[in-house]
Amino acid sequence: MTKFFKTAALAAALGFAAPAMAQDIIVVSHGQANDPFWSVVKNGVDLAAQHTGANVEYRAPETFDMVAMSQLIDAAVNQEPDGIVVSIPDGDALGPSIQRAVNAGIPVISMNSGSDVAADLGALLHVGQSEYDAGLAAGRELANMGGTNAICVNHEVGNVALDLRCGGFQEGFGGEVVVLPTGNDPAEIEAKVKAALASNPDIDVVLALGASLAGEPSVTAVKASGSTAMVASFDLSAGFLQSIVDGEAAFAIDQQQFLQGYLPVSFLAMNAEYGLVPGGNVPSGPNLVTQDKAAQVIDLSSKGIR
């Protein structure tokens, strides 16, 4: 039994009603339907709704589309909810819609992407990681492991958060880094990584920006090419974690996206009921998951929690 339910049961036993949280919270993310990363975020959203009793709706465009996403935010504002959670992959494109919510008196918390612009747009706080700093940490670690020539596989061109990851990686790595733009089809990513390795045998590091979509096919590409390049990836998947356990990948960078879904909903519910909210941003990452830790989180990853 979770702590929340234990508390609720105790309150009932003592004759007190469990707290009634906000009734209407809307979450708008940029997560694409075929990206397993966002199903973990939604799992966090759903559990927070269950724990708080809030009426929560999760919405996202079918593809990475800032016009469609801004329209979803505008529609959410028109419903006058008790709070809105947004990811901000492009502050310029989404800023007017977010500020419209703030100007309407609707509390906004950003999550996942947008840590660099959230405060300026009027968000109460941000739950996520500094993408640039996470890339910086990855670059330094891979350089310490002996890497000198790298590609940064960007599967969602136009997402500022991913640009920041590659930018931080370039600074931290210090060696040769080429950004490899792809779509989000794993087969396309595998083919493009193979082609990059074939065209430049000096590549000894492949950094992917998403484990399921890009990390796993990058591992496959390196193995098929006969390359000894190290592979690392942002985020987690059961398959990529197994590659770390097997010594086929170096590490993963975990931003704990379950918390990115869970915490903002919980915070907005508490804010609506009691006026309580953290006084600053909440860093959910980055955490490096290396071979000694990977086996511990494979099961949780397969269950949509890590």
Q: What is the CATH number of the domain that holds 109?
A: 3.40.50.2300
Q: Are residues 59 and 140 in the same domain?
A: no
Q: What's the whole-number mean pLDDT along residues 9-37?
A: 66
Domain that holds residue 73: 3-129+256-275
275: left (phi over 0), alpha (psi -120 to 50) or beta: left
- Which DSSP category does 60 fall into? -
Provide the pLDDT for residue 188: 98
| Residue position matching structure tokens 């996470």 | 134
Q: Are residues 250 and 140 in the same domain?
A: yes
Cα–Cα distance, 85 to 29 (Å, whole number)? 8
Q: Are residues 42 and 32 in the same domain?
A: yes
Report which of residues 13 and 134 the model is more confident about. Answer: 134
Cα–Cα nearest to 238, from 197, 168, 288, 297: 297
| CA pseudo-torsion sign 41, 178, 118, 98 | negative
Hey, what are 278's tokens? 């953290």
Sequence-distant (≥ 6) Cβ neighbours of residue 213 within 8 angstroms:
34, 35, 36, 37, 155, 184, 186, 189
pLDDT in tens, 55-102: 999 999 999 999 999 999 999 999 999 999 999 999 999 999 999 999
Average pLDDT value over all residues in the chain: 92
Q: Are residues 34 and 163 in the same domain?
A: no
Q: Are residues 198 and 241 in the same domain?
A: yes
Provide the pLDDT for residue 20: 52
Provide the pLDDT for residue 3: 44
Report which of residues 244 and 35 the model is more confident about. Answer: 244
Cα–Cα distance, 180 to 166 (Å, whole number)? 10
Q: CA-CA distances (angstroms) from residue 80 to 24, 74, 75, 94, 267? A: 9, 10, 9, 18, 18
Q: Are residues 180 and 147 in the same domain?
A: yes
Q: Are residues 174 and 295 in the same domain?
A: yes
Q: Are residues 79 and 147 in the same domain?
A: no
The structural domain count of the chain equals 2
Q: Are residues 158 and 107 in the same domain?
A: no
Q: Are residues 298 and 155 in the same domain?
A: yes
- Could you tell me the pLDDT band of residue 32, with boundaries at 50, 70 and 90? confident
Provide the pLDDT for residue 13: 41
Residue 162 is assigned to a structural domain of this protein: yes
Look at residue 4 and tell me whether its pLDDT is greater than 50.
no
Bridging pattern class, strands 83-86 and 126-128:
unpaired
Q: Are residues 108 and 197 in the same domain?
A: no
Provide the pLDDT for residue 33: 64
Helix (H) or strand (E) holding 231: strand 230-234
Helix (H) or strand (E) holding 253: strand 251-254
Provide the pLDDT for residue 269: 96
Helix (H) or strand (E) holding 112: strand 108-112
pTM here? Answer: 0.82
| CA pseudo-torsion sign 225, 230, 234, 237 | positive
Q: Are residues 154 and 207 in the same domain?
A: yes
Q: What's the whole-number mean pLDDT along residues 137-158?
A: 96
Look at residue 161 and tell me whether its pLDDT is greater than 70.
yes
Look at residue 134 and tell me whether its pLDDT is greater than 80.
yes
Contact 239, 265 (CB under 8 A): no
Strand, coil or helix: 206: strand
Crossing angle of the two packed helices 131-144 and 160-173, in degrees rounded to 10: 30
Residue 70 is assigned to a structural domain of this protein: yes
pLDDT in tens, 273-303: 999 999 999 999 999 999 999 998 998 988 8
